[in-house]
Structure 1
Amino acid sequence: MQFGSRRKIVGRIHITPMDSLSDLQKRCYRERLESEVATLTYVRLFCSDILTPVVWAWNGSAENAVGSPYVQLDYVEGETLEDVWHNCSGPTEKTTILQEVAKHHAALAKAVLPFRGFGALRFTSVVGEERPLNDTDFRLGPFLSEGRHFQVTKSRQLVSPPPTAALSLSDLWRDLLVEERRSHLICWGAVPETSVVLPKDDTDSSVNVDIAWNDIQTASKLVERLISATRVPPWLCSPCFSISDYAFRNIIYDPACKRLSGYIDWEGVSILPLFMMARGTISRGHRGFAWVPPDGQTCSQESGRSPESCSGDSLYRATFREALYRSDNRFDMSFWEKALALLKIHYLFLHGLNAWFPRTEWLQRIVAEAEQKP
């Protein structure tokens, strides 16, 4: 929509019919939309270095004139970075873009947050227009994962998220582990003899995986040992805003001004540990870990990409990291050495059983190594 003042507003509605969703799914969608609006509102009020659109109206239920959950917010002028990147004239222009993106990526990490723990922002109560908002109008709620709390698979049922935010990284990981156990317990009924084939499309494996309930118990105990054995430096657990989808299509850039206009996908933005900032741009997935780019490795045949493309990505990752360090000196070499290892562990907890089984040997090895450290 465009008004006489030339202000443009876009609306987003939930396209899945709400009647087809369970009460738990409706609740999770409502809470996730509230979190998105609360995050956008908080950032706009208290984090001026982070570019966000203004939210004009929203409703998390289907009980409105639209008949669906919706949000209305400012239109962000510019082009998607995906299009701009594809049309770049060469490395110099791409370097300029990455320096600009790194500046805004660092702003997400630098935001001073008054909340303790990790999770998703929520409003403390119904927010009206009667008075200016302050930071006490916001609270930290439980972490909400799109895949975990919204999508049903053949082996996993939806479970309620924790009632509160996680106060520490180990608490967050334990919450995710408990949810994973509960979701499979609901599905299988904890019958040890039950065997289920997980389709390769539901896992990080190239083949179907045949597992039983005893396998789940064994794997979850191994992962629980990993929580107890993993030592994380406190500075890497500093809370910051973490975007869940860094795809270039979600970053808007103004090629004329050579400035980033903003991020347009704030669904799923959470407050998570600083090491999650290692998950960012120029990190295309591969068959190891989708979040961790294969620096220094050749492309596998399965990737379908040329060696030149992979080496180019490695070069631009280095450029991005250098620019990030200039904006925030916490992002030095030691950050990347430690953060990428922690990123792999967090990936396992977030994706659960379907990510554990293809990596059983690797998981056993890193648990043993972690338990041997003083």
Structure 2
Amino acid sequence: MAEPVFRAVRSDDTEHDITEGELYRYTRHRWLYNEAYHLSQRYLKFNLQELLKAASIAIDVKGFVRCTKILKCKEGLNNKVFLLTMTNGIEICAKLPHPGAGPSFYTTASEVATHHFLRDVLNISTPRIIAWSADRNNPVGAEYILEEKAQGEQLGKLWQDWHEWPMRARAGVIEQVVQMEHILASTKFAKSGSIYFREDIAGSDPLAVISPMDSTVLERFTIGPLVEHRLWRGERAVMDLNRGPYNDAHELVEAIAMNEKKYISLYAHSRMNYARSVTGYEQPKDAIDLLDRYLQLTPAMVPPKHEADIHSATLWHPDLHLNNVFVDPKSKRINQVIDWQSAAVLPFFHQCRVPPMFRHPRPIDDDLNTLQKRPGNYKDLNQDEKKQIDILIASEGIHKYYLGTTHNQNQRHWVALQLKDDLRTQPAHIVPNIWEESNVFYLRRALLRIVGAWEDLCLDRGPCPVTFTDEELAQHAQEAENMEAVSGVLTLFRDRWGLPPDGSVESAGYEEVKAELSQMREAFIEAADNEEDKFLAEKLWPYQDTDERPKRETSHRGLYKEFKYDIRGKVSEFEAELEFFSGGGKLIWFKR
């Protein structure tokens, strides 16, 4: 019997032959730092023949159907996805979570139950699941989901074609997404957590909602622990932590801090934080002390009640980007929305956002009726410069049209979106993995803002229970100067060359990007005017293998997935930008 053909999709959507070994390895990206770790979190060896057998039985109980082609789809960071072509012409999508995607069993069990809830209860179209296993001890040797191939074309393949997809067509897609979000926002749950089938969570109660809904359709579902990977990272996977269900927003806000305190007290060790000091170590007790202050300030971290009810727990798509939406290219209608892995039921204000597929990469002003104008010298620019300006203006228009449509058609989401940058909601997003992600500074900054606004946030609670000493404030200000400067350089990398904070680069351009970045690093260090500043610049350089350096993260997950990584010939421009940042080549921002 002939073996199936092994193929993979390139970044330009063409196909090429691969070996069986490449099915198990992550090959779409490489990393500019900590590459071995990133790749290990995405390597998955499984029994291929058993997976194909499961697919055959799923569509033909006698198992007579065989697989003729295995197409490795473009890899996401959390899953391997294969399109299996069978002898009867049927195409099956096989999805296997990477080791770092989330907790074993729970991640897959929750994703499957969430799919069924969306299809069967809310009538939101997702691909039909035909077989699955959340037990990695199965014959395949890995958790898997087999589902029908999504109907239509990925929107990401079509969105760049302005001839076929003018603004009118894009507006139609925006309106359809807002309609789907309105369905989600209209379903309010009694508790926060992840959705499961009741048989998968021992002793669980039927799913409870506070929206009008037939209780009989809810009996097969329940709310169980969150599968968000940060709650299970590293040693947390075997710790007894409170991952839900949570009865209300206050319980959630407190639980995530208690979880981090428990983890840090057991597993964190002192380390260098050069943005804070070039001589002293950052101690775990510093983070624990900050979390204790956080817990004292939690009354200010839940927004006041509103008639739109932004507190009730709500199911939301975790990463709605262009490639997760499948459309009919002719009718421009959305057929299906995919990738609900790790979708959670959380207080609405805690997780609502503008979807990455519509998000403008720059700040948006409050006036939704006007757009940025072309510059006065527009007619003198070359075609590439004009195109870039027009793309940015169109991107702003898409973002604003989404906001305007949400304002008109989904008022609950609109009200919640007004809290996007609210100082009350920021700390709870920073706390998970605060030590590993070197976010102690960012949490301290968020708490200082709450302390400064305590009387306005908590009118009936008396004096603020938390204070910071003058010494703490001075040291924080010193660290802030260094962090702000390095963040400026990282923003430069992001805006000018598309490099995300995790250092991931399309594999085809890795060596070229790495060489260019090496030259940038030299320019960055040489811009310092003395050996001490050069030492500090070297330690603060973001893209390097070391556990000591402060890691930079972004809260806009998925924002850079559509960007292309191209920094060819940019070193001289980088040096010019350094001149601007540093005031004549001296890194005046570094403070010791």
TM-score of the superposition, structure 1-length normalised? Answer: 0.75
SS of residue paired to 1:330: helix
Check 1:267–1:261 CA distance in 2 against 1; reply closer, same or farther (3 A cut).
same
Q: Aligned equivalents of 2:158 and 2:95: distance in 1?
A: 24
Q: Is the 8 A contact 1:229 1:367 kept in 2?
A: no
Q: Is the 8 A contact 2:256 2:428 kept in 1?
A: no
Q: Aligned equivalents of 1:138 and 1:55: distance in 2?
A: 16
Q: Aligned equivalents of 1:350 and 1:309: distance in 2?
A: 36
Within the alignment, does 1:355 sit opposite 2:436 as a pair? no
Within the alignment, does 1:35 sit opposite 2:110 as a pair? yes
SS of residue paired to 1:66: coil
Q: Aligned equivalents of 1:356 and 1:215: distance in 2?
A: 8
Amino acid at match of 1:366: I
Partner of 1:315: 397
Within the alignment, does 1:233 sit opposite 2:304 as a pair? yes
Which structure has the larger Rg? 2
Q: Is the 8 A contact 2:197 2:221 kept in 1?
A: yes
Q: Is the 8 A contact 2:287 2:440 kept in 1?
A: no
Check 1:3–1:312 CA distance in 2 against 1; reply closer, same or farther (3 A cut).
same
Amino acid at match of 1:281: P
Q: Identify the range of structure 1 (224-233 vs 260-269) with the bigger mean alpha-carbon deviation.
A: 224-233
Partner of 2:248: 168
Amino acid at match of 2:397: L
SS of residue paired to 1:244: coil
Question: Deviation per CA, 1:129-179, whole angstroms, max 9, x where unpaired?
Answer: xxxx831221111222123314x4xxx754444264011111112121122
For residues 200-239 of structure 1, what are the structure 2 equivalents within 5 Å?
Answer: 211-234=282-305, 235-239=309-313
Q: Aligned equivalents of 2:329 and 2:421: distance in 1?
A: 31
Q: Aligned equivalents of 2:156 and 2:171: distance in 1?
A: 15
Within the alignment, does 1:141 sit opposite 2:224 as a pair? yes
Within the alignment, does 1:337 sit opposite 2:418 as a pair? yes
Check 1:198–1:168 CA distance in 2 against 1; reply closer, same or farther (3 A cut).
farther
Check 1:351–1:195 CA distance in 2 against 1; reply closer, same or farther (3 A cut).
closer
Q: Is the 8 A contact 2:270 2:282 kept in 1?
A: yes
SS of residue paired to 1:236: coil
Partner of 2:364: 295
SS of residue paired to 2:141: coil
Q: Aligned equivalents of 1:76 and 1:246: distance in 2?
A: 15
Q: Aligned equivalents of 1:160 and 1:70: distance in 2?
A: 26
Question: Deviation per CA, 1:255-309, whole angstroms, max 9, x where unpaired?
Answer: 21211122211110111122222242356597xxxxxx732499xxxxxxx7766
SS of residue paired to 2:288: helix
SS of residue paired to 2:286: helix
SS of residue paired to 2:334: strand
Q: Aligned equivalents of 1:66 and 1:88: distance in 2?
A: 44
Q: Aligned equivalents of 2:398 and 2:425: distance in 1?
A: 20
Partner of 2:160: 86
Q: Aligned equivalents of 2:155 and 2:345: distance in 1?
A: 24
Q: Aligned equivalents of 1:221 and 1:257: distance in 2?
A: 55
For residues 1-374 of structure 1, what are the structure 2 equivalents within 5 Å?
Answer: 1=84, 8-16=91-99, 28-48=103-123, 50-89=124-163, 90-111=166-187, 113=188, 115-125=189-199, 134-150=217-233, 152=234, 158=237, 159-162=239-242, 164-188=244-268, 195-197=270-272, 211-234=282-305, 235-275=309-349, 276-282=351-357, 294-296=363-365, 312-332=394-414, 334-341=415-422, 344-350=426-432, 352-353=434-435, 354-358=438-442, 360-373=444-457, 374=459
Of the two structures, which has the highest relative contact order with CA contacts closer than 8 Å and spacing of 6 or more? 1
Compute the RMSD of aligned alpha carbons.
Answer: 3.4
SS of residue paired to 2:314: strand
Q: Is the 8 A contact 2:185 2:413 kept in 1?
A: no
Q: Aligned equivalents of 1:168 and 1:121: distance in 2?
A: 16
Check 1:358–1:346 CA distance in 2 against 1; reply closer, same or farther (3 A cut).
closer
Q: Is the 8 A contact 1:10 1:74 kept in 2?
A: yes
TM-score of the superposition, structure 2-length normalised? Answer: 0.50
* Moved beyond 6 Å, runs of 4+: 3-6
Q: Aligned equivalents of 2:153 and 2:95: distance in 1?
A: 19
Q: Is the 8 A contact 2:358 2:402 kept in 1?
A: no
Q: Aligned equivalents of 1:309 and 1:197: distance in 2?
A: 43
Q: Aligned equivalents of 1:337 and 1:67: distance in 2?
A: 46
% identity of equivalent residues:
18
Q: Is the 8 A contact 1:157 1:186 kept in 2?
A: no
Amino acid at match of 1:162: N
Q: State the Cα distance separating 1:248 from its structure 2 match.
A: 2.1
Q: State the Cα distance separating 1:72 from its structure 2 match.
A: 1.0
Partner of 1:302: none
Q: Aligned equivalents of 1:187 and 1:372: distance in 2?
A: 37
Check 1:247–1:216 CA distance in 2 against 1; reply closer, same or farther (3 A cut).
same
Q: Is the 8 A contact 1:169 1:273 kept in 2?
A: yes
Q: Aligned equivalents of 2:399 and 2:274: distance in 1?
A: 33
Q: Aligned equivalents of 2:440 and 2:167: distance in 1?
A: 38
Q: Is the 8 A contact 1:157 1:187 kept in 2?
A: no
Q: How many residues in Structure 1 have an aligned counterpart in Structure 2?
A: 329
Amino acid at match of 1:103: Q
Q: Aligned equivalents of 2:287 and 2:186: distance in 1?
A: 39
